[in-house]
Chain A
């Protein structure tokens, strides 16, 4: 890292460094684009994890988290502006496709305009929203509950910088004037939630898709700023509800590491088993719903059978089938149910036969193969530039499993394979998940017989205050890398809690993957990316 710091300092003398967490390079806005390009091309930090918008009151800005896909090291760029009236930064949307979407999110919440971003609309909030909610001086009374329908616009803004340094706002159309635009969603059986695809079609062929998000945006990041740390945990169940354990694990881990809390080995093991059980349940549901999207309704019931078994196990220990609220800071809510080990072993015993059955019923079918092979092909480069992590990214040959790249908890001790395939089509995404079920079962089998005795709850201060600082941690959710950016000002509430969902990039990539394909392929591609709408909308 010292070497990288030197090279950056050599190239950009105005850069300042902060090494308290991930190496953070602070750079003036004018050099932001050049630094980002330098990091991407010269130092191989080619994966944009997220853009965290920030309001430090005296200045506003963004933190860009970059990761190298070869050695998995991370670096952050920090760019700020002191102008609160018209905050502007330069866009890096031309370097990473996903940056365009991330910048729209920052614009939506902080009002920072990105010069050069071709599509500077709000991302989640309605078009008539007043003010920017994550700014510290935001006044919620500006936005009473609307009584009228949301206004729609076919236009988008871009901010172009002319050679004399003047920034001009220009208008552009989202679709061509005579496009036949079909609304797929927000109420649609195959969008897996309230997501809306404005789809321009030419007969059966898709020309362009405008992904319209935000129907289930609850402002979790904003709400968390007013809550204490233990309270913020409860939202982790309510984003990707299938990865509830994994997300809980992620936030607990971040807070524990920030507060310096040690958790017992027993807790670690329980958490990992729960994570992997969630993964099996989630992938089973994926197989079922995906097959249903393709019209094979019967498969859903076969996969739900396994999922039910897992939910019963969860029910016994956590007291709920969903929204478990199981992990706490420093431990877990209650000890394992006496039947837990027996039930899990029963599950592991029936799993291989079930997987074989799915294969027999579905994977080998000629219609299935016609529908899935070669459909929605995503190259490794595409997956990286769109930041599509998780099983979808791994199906494109990108080894991005956080459990391997940034091992946490007890994962380094465990013996499991990172499933990577190279076809990048819907079939590969399907198969990766099938294989991951086997790998998860392998992990559970290693742990289930030796769950150590110990405390299930470490001693944690009643009123938990974190030291001043910021932390960025990731865990592997069921659908990809789930990140938490936590900034503390030393009080009982987080100053900023940014959640990095894996589903947002997946949904954003749909437009790219479906162009020129058929309407039916949109369903296949959307299904195979397996996004969860509450996760992307937060």
Chain B
């Protein structure tokens, strides 16, 4: 399996040969930033196209098919439209917070990209509390949503923001606990370590029952975290017109829109990391030749492929289920998911202690 660290080390060595180390590191940071921005934009565009096509298929439609072959350029056209639209400034709003909010939302998803295991050796930063960092930064997003709702000086946005606050704070718990369950099995919080632990068998198989329970809970909570249907209450279209981003226009709205899709990717990416081995190919103990063939598929494709498949499930949710009500959402979390999660954590601990996993 190709190890990308060879490539990164070569770039590092190349840079060091004609500049001091501090400058080399700074240059690398800038380069990574640029690459990240590009990947970010391309992924968002892909996801918009992907969701529109999937949703169209569910609804017996064709979806975008006019711009470019099979409508592939549709999202680019949309992006340009969004970029050239006017940013309407409103009276009686808190201008600073109003402008800050979309950046906070996008910042949160951007930071989370830093620890995703993109491929073998292809990780921006791999440190010992990677997964903890990821949970920490992804909860900054709710701050942006709350600020957006509050600073717009609009009753719909305010209700949307309050809903979002209640919902995100609750579901953060479930995400945290199901991540903790898997960390328990992995024995490390380092993202690289978690992937490495799944060398022989993905956690969803090796952790069997508690891992599957954790996966289902993670998927539900992850959908709620990304504010997507059936948990899209903060922006419940038929109730609050557009919820917290009702008053935003142009690229400011675009940021919320992008962040929504990127969060979808992050949630699926983390699910891929925790349950399906991150970039690790499908290995089955004993099937040597099969494992060998699997290794030929590049690790980046493995990771993105898994994330896209898991996203498909989340998109499937959205286009099938009706929306929940706020009290149902909260009781689902506090009365069902949380207790199940806690019991599941204990179960996982027992399984790990007694070595009952594969």
Interface residues of A (CB under 8 A from B): 180, 182-183, 188-190, 201, 203-204, 291-298, 300-302, 305, 361-362, 365, 367-368, 370-371, 518-523
A290 to nearest B CB, angstroms? 10
A511 to nearest B CB, angstroms? 18
Is B180's beta carbon under 8 Å from chain A? no
**Do B241 and A521 touch (CB < 8 A)?**
no
Decide: A182 near B60, CB < 8 A? Known: A189-B241, A295-B238, A371-B324: no
B319 to nearest A CB, angstroms? 5
Most B CB within 10 A of own CB, among A204, A305, A521: A204
Q: Choose from A295, A298, A300 the contact partner of B236 (Cβ within 8 Å).
A: A295
Interface string of B307-329 (1 = CB under 8 A from A): 00000000000011111111110
**Do B155 and A180 touch (CB < 8 A)?**
yes
**Do B321 and A520 touch (CB < 8 A)?**
no
**Do A189 and B322 touch (CB < 8 A)?**
no
Is B229's beta carbon under 8 Å from chain A? yes
Q: Choose from A180, A204, A367, A523 the contact partner of B321 (Cβ within 8 Å).
A: A367
Chain A residues contacting B324 (CB-CB under 8 Å) are: 367, 370-371
**Do A301 and B60 touch (CB < 8 A)?**
yes
Assembly CA distance A523 to B237 (angstroms):
11
- A-contacting residues, B229-288, CB 8 Å: 229-230, 232-233, 236-241
Decide: A367 near B322, CB < 8 A? Known: A182-B159, A295-B229, A301-B61: yes
**Do B237 and A189 touch (CB < 8 A)?**
yes
**Do A190 and B321 touch (CB < 8 A)?**
no
How many residues of B sit at the interface, in one of the four size bands? 20 to 34
**Do B59 and A520 touch (CB < 8 A)?**
no
**Do A370 and B238 touch (CB < 8 A)?**
no
Assembly CA distance A99 to B163 (angstroms):
38
Assembly CA distance A67 to B310 (angstroms):
59
Assembly CA distance A523 to B238 (angstroms):
7
Decide: A190 near B155, CB < 8 A? Known: A295-B230, A296-B321: no
Chain A residues contacting B60 (CB-CB under 8 Å) are: 301-302, 305
Chain B residues contacting A298 (CB-CB under 8 Å) are: 55, 58-59, 319-320
Chain B residues contacting A302 (CB-CB under 8 Å) are: 59-60
Decide: A204 near B326, CB < 8 A? Known: A190-B238, A298-B59, A301-B59: yes
Chain B residues contacting A370 (CB-CB under 8 Å) are: 324-325, 328
Is B203's beta carbon under 8 Å from chain A? no
Q: Choose from B162, B163, B320, B326 the contact partner of A296 (Cβ within 8 Å).
A: B320
Q: Choose from A204, A291, A523 the contact partner of B159 (Cβ within 8 Å).
A: A204
Chain A residues contacting B327 (CB-CB under 8 Å) are: 204, 518
Decide: A295 near B321, CB < 8 A? Known: A182-B155, A182-B159, A188-B241: yes
Is B156's beta carbon under 8 Å from chain A? yes
Assembly CA distance A134 to B163 (angstroms):
47
Nearest B residue to A299 via CB reads B322
A370 to nearest B CB, angstroms? 5
Assembly CA distance A107 to B319 (angstroms):
47
Q: Choose from A188, A201, A520 the contact partner of B323 (Cβ within 8 Å).
A: A520
Assembly CA distance A335 to B106 (angstroms):
62
Tell me the number of A-to-B contacts counted with CB atoms below 8 Å: 85
Assembly CA distance A292 to B319 (angstroms):
10
Decide: A295 near B232, CB < 8 A? Known: A365-B321, A367-B321: yes
**Do A518 and B155 touch (CB < 8 A)?**
no
Return the 10 tightest CB-CB contacts between A and B, nearest first.
Answer: A295-B323, A294-B322, A296-B322, A190-B238, A301-B59, A520-B325, A295-B322, A182-B155, A293-B238, A298-B319
A132 to nearest B CB, angstroms? 35
Nearest A residue to B61 via CB reads A301
- A-contacting residues, B201-237, CB 8 Å: 229-230, 232-233, 236-237
Nearest B residue to A291 via CB reads B322
Additional pairs, 20, CB under 8 Å, beyond known A296-B321, A305-B60, A371-B324: A182-B155, A190-B238, A201-B159, A204-B163, A204-B327, A292-B238, A295-B237, A296-B320, A297-B59, A298-B59, A302-B59, A361-B320, A365-B322, A367-B230, A367-B321, A371-B325, A518-B326, A519-B239, A521-B325, A523-B238
B241 to nearest A CB, angstroms? 6
Assembly CA distance A521 to B239 (angstroms):
9
Chain A residues contacting B232 (CB-CB under 8 Å) are: 295
Nearest B residue to A366 via CB reads B321
A/B interface sample: 5 pairs, CB < 8 A: A294-B322, A371-B328, A519-B239, A520-B323, A520-B326
**Do B322 and A362 touch (CB < 8 A)?**
yes
Assembly CA distance A523 to B319 (angstroms):
19
Assembly CA distance A292 to B163 (angstroms):
20
Nearest B residue to A292 via CB reads B238
Chain B residues contacting A296 (CB-CB under 8 Å) are: 320-323
Assembly CA distance A273 to B238 (angstroms):
34
Assembly CA distance A519 to B323 (angstroms):
13
B323 to nearest A CB, angstroms? 3
Nearest B residue to A300 via CB reads B59
Chain A residues contacting B229 (CB-CB under 8 Å) are: 295
Nearest A residue to B323 via CB reads A295
Nearest B residue to A294 via CB reads B322
Assembly CA distance A148 to B319 (angstroms):
43
Assembly CA distance A16 to B60 (angstroms):
64
- A-contacting residues, B110-132, CB 8 Å: none
Nearest B residue to A296 via CB reads B322
Nearest A residue to B321 via CB reads A367
Chain B residues contacting A291 (CB-CB under 8 Å) are: 322
Interface string of B56-87 (1 = CB under 8 A from A): 00111100000000000000000000000000
Chain B residues contacting A362 (CB-CB under 8 Å) are: 322
Most A CB within 10 A of own CB, among B240, B323, B325: B325
Chain A residues contacting B237 (CB-CB under 8 Å) are: 189, 295
Assembly CA distance A520 to B230 (angstroms):
13
Nearest B residue to A189 via CB reads B238
A151 to nearest B CB, angstroms? 21
Chain A residues contacting B162 (CB-CB under 8 Å) are: 203
Chain A residues contacting B236 (CB-CB under 8 Å) are: 295, 520
Chain A residues contacting B325 (CB-CB under 8 Å) are: 370-371, 518, 520-521
Chain B residues contacting A361 (CB-CB under 8 Å) are: 320
Chain A residues contacting B323 (CB-CB under 8 Å) are: 294-296, 367, 371, 520
A255 to nearest B CB, angstroms? 40
A179 to nearest B CB, angstroms? 12
Chain A residues contacting B240 (CB-CB under 8 Å) are: 519
Chain A residues contacting B230 (CB-CB under 8 Å) are: 295, 367
Nearest B residue to A362 via CB reads B322
**Do B320 and A182 touch (CB < 8 A)?**
no
Chain A residues contacting B55 (CB-CB under 8 Å) are: 298
**Do A368 and B322 touch (CB < 8 A)?**
yes
